[in-house]
Amino acid sequence: MVVALATDNKIAGYITMADSLRTGTKELISNLRRLGIGRIVLATGDRRAVAENITKGLELDAVRSDLTPDQKGLLVLAERKNGPVMMVGDGVNDAPALAAADIGVAMGARGAAASAEAADIVLLVDHLDRLLSGIEIAQRSRRIAMQSVVAGIGVSIVGMVAATLGFITPVQGAIIQELIDVTVILNALRVLWIKPQIGLVARG
* Final residue in a domain of this structure, among 72, 105, 128: 128
* Final residue in a domain of this structure, among 128, 143, 160: 128
* Residues 51, 46, 41, 130, CA torsion sign: positive
pLDDT tens per residue, range 16-36: 877 677 777 888 899 999 888
Q: Which domain holds residue 154?
A: 132-202
Q: Let me know if residue 193 belongs to a domain.
A: yes
pLDDT class of 130 with cuts at 50, 70, 90: confident
The structure's pTM equals 0.71
pLDDT class of 85 with cuts at 50, 70, 90: very high
> How many whole angstroms separate alpha carbon 75 and alpha carbon 97?
8
Q: How many residues does the chain have?
A: 204
pLDDT for 204 beyond 60: no
pLDDT tens per residue, range 35-78: 889 899 999 888 888 888 888 888 899 999 999 999 999 999 99
Domain count, the chain: 2
Q: What is the mean pLDDT of the chain?
A: 86
